[in-house]
Chains A and B, each alone.
Chain A
Amino acid sequence: MKKTAIVLSFLFALIIPSFIFSQGIPDNAKVTGNVQIDAQYYTEDTKLGITDSTLNYRKFGMNSFANLLYTAGNFTAGMRMEAFLNPMLGFDQRYEGVGIPYWFAGYKTGTFQLTAGHFYEQFGSGLILRSWENWMLGYDNSIYGLNAKFSPVSGITLKGLVGVQRYFWQPYEEGNRGIVKGFDGEFDLNQIFPALTDASTRISLGGSFVSKYEKVPTLSYVIDSAYLIDSINWNQQSTYEMNLPYNVGSWAARANLSNGGFNFYAEYAEKANDPNATNNYIFRKGSALYSSLSYSTKGLGIFLSTKWIDNMSYKSKLTESGNPPMLDINYLPAISKEHTYSLASLYPYATQPNGEFGFQGQIDYKLPKETLIGGKYGTLLTVNYSLAKSIEKDTLPDSPITGSLAGTQGYETSFLSVGDLTYYRDLSVLADRKINNKWKLLLGYYNQRYNKNVIEDNIYNEDHIVKTNIAVLDLTYKITRKNSLRMELQGLWSKEDKGDWGALLVEYNVSPKWFFSLQDEYNYGNPAQEMQIHYFNMAFGYTQNTTRFSVRYGRQREGLVCIGGVCRYVPASTGLTLTITSSF
């Protein structure tokens, strides 16, 4: 059987190119791709308590991938090879190995497109379905199956998919994860109805349905009951088997309206009862609302958005939980802003899928040039405010006396209710100004509250709030057209957690090829004196068009790498890091 397959694939490999060439489209046939190698060599560091044995004798870590993409006319095929030998610190050890976790072949005609193999897809803003990957995060929930897109008339896009999701290197078998199916439709009213073609208001509507089938395991739950009979307290423990749903459906509806500088988007989603490890096996339905409103014109941008989610963790295996998040079917983005300066993102927010209210507002305003406060070139002001809070959760009247809520409805809440617990709050003000042809200056101030218990440990109280004040000064000096010097000075002040930090970065750039940098992050205010450590780094890089090579040596602080509200914990380390990335 295996031999036949090998012979067949050889035949195919020989036939396909000649078939393509006989079609007369060799000009279109192309192979492109990219490669990245991240390698780290770790050394012992007594200050950080790192020894060969705490490293498990894995002194070398390497994560790498290579993508190959083949296109010929309407046909596309691609694959990604990955190697984690061993996975670098901070990446799950279950990634260890080498193989091809991603490959696909796709074909499209004018209105129809089919992809077979692995694919990434998103319905609306992803509240009920999003498969995506992020290399830095070590996140990949690609779907392996079939994905079709069909556009019967201009303005209507229909999508359908079925498949199973990636789980490290483990191949799919019945029972080790569920099957995901979904449909989505998007309707652009201005394109569909000729009467609306020239309307100044642009409207599009969309809707989706997703279902998960899983061969559920047998799980039981315990209910404690107390009785008072003949002046004696009797406690009774009853064990029940959970009636877990084999199929869990979800749906979402969305609308997008725009008129001139205004843009409004809203999406509402609901999920059927889905007892799982994240929600502690309660039988509640889930729901979510995401909306945003923006107005902008040249020199001014205003953005407001809100989010309300209740019990929306949706995975293709109900017992899966923890980090890294795997088998996620949907995507619940954090509503806070992703900051670009290292100390401002020392305490990043991660979405709480069991319930959260979020708000974000931002104003971008450019003070006009040639004015007193705007200066010769104008000054850009950016103010952002983000807030994440709990939602109200009331105890059920028939809650069990003791023990967990597993097997029950869990709690009661009303739609759009806001609870008392603050999970995260962030106010930032940035001013960015070009002073003259040589100097550029950016000043930033941030005030953050980070609920460490909730965000890192799932303990729902306000007993460990980290309050921080952060200031940033970023200065660029252009020596010549191609040579520039950049300096970042940052300070973080806090009475909680690890206390005060200072950071300095000096970077020398020779465009378009070289950079050299020195960086020090100093935790001078750490309450533990032995942890008042300098995290010193030096780096250089060389870029030759699409190949970039960089080397860094130094100490890396522990921290969270967060992208889109999904976070990865990276432990402290010392050593040499080499990165090579190339596209062709």
Chain B
Amino acid sequence: MKNILVLLFLTGSTTFLMSQNETKTLFKLPEVTIQSIDGKSFNTKNIENEGKPVILTFWATWCKPCLREHDAISEYYAEWAEETGVKVYAISIDDARSSRRVMPTVNGKGWEFEVLLDPNGEFKRLMNVNIPPHVFVLNEKREVVWQHIGYLDGDEMKYIEVVEKVLAGENIN
């Protein structure tokens, strides 16, 4: 067991050190098969927006700040899409208990963004999400350039600010 730890740490740290100066992006979007909102297989390589930025949010029907976040995004979504071309993907981590209730909930609320299901947390683990809500902003090349955890009323303004900086090619931090 200890040997494996040593192996992983050394492998990781060597690569980590070597890749420090290469790019400002955090990481490339991992590819994994999850589900579309109606329960069909969906590969995350199909998360795309024709060369425009993407906002990716991890959420669940039982997560109160997530619902507030999505209501807020929904309010500005049409405006954002028109101004920046941004597309929002909301990844539900509801498990078998509530994943089938996601589609009627989303439609009932009138959210117009893309919704995907990750009922056993495979995508969530690859994205290192601990607790929802957790937001990622992807650049034109589908690389993660910014992430944020938790939601406080008004945070959505920060998301669109980041998207605007990505489009302008500015440094985010």
Task: Enumerate chain A interface residues (CB-CB to B < 8 A).
Answer: 5-6, 8-10, 12-14, 16-17, 20-21, 26-34, 36, 67-72, 76-79, 81, 99-100, 103, 120-122, 125-126, 130, 132-133, 135, 149, 157, 186, 188, 202, 204, 256, 258, 261, 263, 265, 290, 292, 294-303, 305, 331, 333-335, 337-341, 362-366, 378, 380, 382, 432, 476, 478, 481-484, 486, 509-515, 541, 543, 545-548, 564-565, 581, 583-584
Query: B residues within 8 A CB of A546?
Result: 147-149
* A335 nearest in chain B by CB position: B97
**Cα–Cα distance between A94 and B132 once the two chains are bound (Å):** 28
Q: A298-B110, A303-B100 are in contact. List 10 more A-B contacts (CB 8 A).
A: A10-B6, A13-B14, A34-B130, A157-B41, A258-B40, A298-B107, A364-B107, A476-B68, A511-B153, A583-B130
Q: A265, A515, A548: which contacts B149 (Cβ < 8 A)?
A: A548
B15 near A31 (CB under 8 angstroms)? Answer: yes
**Cα–Cα distance between A482 and B110 once the two chains are bound (Å):** 25
Query: A residues within 8 A CB of B8?
Result: 68, 70, 77-79, 103
**Cα–Cα distance between A14 and B41 once the two chains are bound (Å):** 38
B22 near A27 (CB under 8 angstroms)? Answer: yes
Could you list 9 examples of A-B contacts with CB < 8 Å? A68-B8, A186-B41, A202-B40, A338-B61, A481-B157, A547-B149, A583-B128, A583-B130, A583-B134
A17 near B108 (CB under 8 angstroms)? Answer: no
B27 near A17 (CB under 8 angstroms)? Answer: no
Looking at the assembled complex, report how far the CB atom of B7 sits from the nearest CB atom of chain A, in whole angstroms.
4
Query: B residues within 8 A CB of A363?
Result: 108
Does B154 sit at the interface, judged by CB under 8 A?
yes
Looking at the assembled complex, report how far the CB atom of B124 sits from the nearest CB atom of chain A, in whole angstroms.
10
**Cα–Cα distance between A99 and B62 once the two chains are bound (Å):** 31
Query: B residues within 8 A CB of A27?
Result: 19, 22-23
B105 near A331 (CB under 8 angstroms)? Answer: no
A364 near B155 (CB under 8 angstroms)? Answer: no
The answer to whether A581 and B152 touch (CB under 8 A), given A13-B10, A26-B22, A202-B40, is no
**Cα–Cα distance between A140 and B130 once the two chains are bound (Å):** 15
The answer to whether A294 and B100 touch (CB under 8 A), given A32-B27, A482-B154, A583-B149, is yes
Looking at the assembled complex, report how far the CB atom of B146 sits from the nearest CB atom of chain A, in whole angstroms.
7
B127-155 interface code vs A (CB 8 A; 1 in, 0 out): 01111001000000000001111101111
Does B47 sit at the interface, judged by CB under 8 A?
no
**Cα–Cα distance between A513 and B47 once the two chains are bound (Å):** 29
Q: Which of B1-30 contact A (CB under 8 A)?
A: 1, 3-16, 18-19, 22-23, 26-28, 30
B152 near A484 (CB under 8 angstroms)? Answer: yes
Does B84 sit at the interface, judged by CB under 8 A?
no
A511 near B157 (CB under 8 angstroms)? Answer: yes
Query: B residues within 8 A CB of A204?
Result: 39-41
Does B53 sit at the interface, judged by CB under 8 A?
no
The answer to whether A543 and B121 touch (CB under 8 A), given A512-B158, A565-B97, is no
Query: B residues within 8 A CB of A121?
Result: 120
Does B106 sit at the interface, judged by CB under 8 A?
yes
Query: B residues within 8 A CB of A509?
Result: 152-154
B93-112 interface code vs A (CB 8 A; 1 in, 0 out): 00111101101111111101
Q: B109, B131, B153: which contacts A380 (Cβ < 8 A)?
A: B109
**Cα–Cα distance between A274 and B15 once the two chains are bound (Å):** 49
Query: A residues within 8 A CB of B40?
Result: 188, 202, 204, 256, 258
Looking at the assembled complex, report how far the CB atom of A11 sits from the nearest CB atom of chain B, in whole angstroms.
9
A12 near B7 (CB under 8 angstroms)? Answer: yes
**Cα–Cα distance between A122 and B100 once the two chains are bound (Å):** 15
Does B64 sit at the interface, judged by CB under 8 A?
yes
**Residue of B6, B38, B61, B112 with highest tally of chain A CB at under 10 A:** B38
**Cα–Cα distance between A301 and B37 once the two chains are bound (Å):** 14
The answer to whether A299 and B107 touch (CB under 8 A), given A13-B6, A512-B158, is yes
A32 near B149 (CB under 8 angstroms)? Answer: no
**Cα–Cα distance between A295 and B129 once the two chains are bound (Å):** 31
Q: A26, A100, A130, A565: which contacts B19 (Cβ < 8 A)?
A: A26
Q: B6, B104, B110, B147: which contacts A583 (Cβ < 8 A)?
A: B147
B96 near A333 (CB under 8 angstroms)? Answer: yes
**Cα–Cα distance between A326 and B26 once the two chains are bound (Å):** 36
Does B33 sit at the interface, judged by CB under 8 A?
yes
Q: B23, B33, B97, B122: which contacts A333 (Cβ < 8 A)?
A: B97
Looking at the assembled complex, report how far the CB atom of B104 sits from the nearest CB atom of chain A, in whole angstroms.
3
* A132 nearest in chain B by CB position: B120
Query: B residues within 8 A CB of A362?
Result: 101, 104-105
* B26 nearest in chain A by CB position: A32
Query: B residues within 8 A CB of A331?
Result: 95-96
Q: A28, A126, A294: which contacts B96 (Cβ < 8 A)?
A: A126
**Cα–Cα distance between A41 and B107 once the two chains are bound (Å):** 44
B19-59 interface code vs A (CB 8 A; 1 in, 0 out): 10011001110100100001111000000000000000000
**Cα–Cα distance between A122 and B74 once the two chains are bound (Å):** 32
**Residue of B39, B126, B146 with highest tally of chain A CB at under 10 A:** B39
B154 near A71 (CB under 8 angstroms)? Answer: no
Query: B residues within 8 A CB of A512?
Result: 148, 152, 154-155, 158
B108 near A9 (CB under 8 angstroms)? Answer: no
Looking at the assembled complex, report how far the CB atom of A120 sits from the nearest CB atom of chain B, in whole angstroms.
6
**Residue of A27, A301, A483 with highest tally of chain B CB at under 10 A:** A301
Query: A residues within 8 A CB of B153?
Result: 476, 478, 484, 486, 509, 511
Looking at the assembled complex, report how far the CB atom of A31 sits from the nearest CB atom of chain B, in whole angstroms.
4
Query: A residues within 8 A CB of B22?
Result: 26-27
Q: A5, A120, A303, A340: which contacts B101 (Cβ < 8 A)?
A: A303
* B68 nearest in chain A by CB position: A476
A122 near B120 (CB under 8 angstroms)? Answer: yes
Q: A10, A99, A302: which contacts B104 (Cβ < 8 A)?
A: A302
B65-91 interface code vs A (CB 8 A; 1 in, 0 out): 001100100000000000000000000
Looking at the assembled complex, report how far the CB atom of B133 sits from the nearest CB atom of chain A, in whole angstroms.
11
Minimum-distance CB pairs A-B, first 5: A364-B108, A301-B104, A301-B108, A511-B154, A13-B10
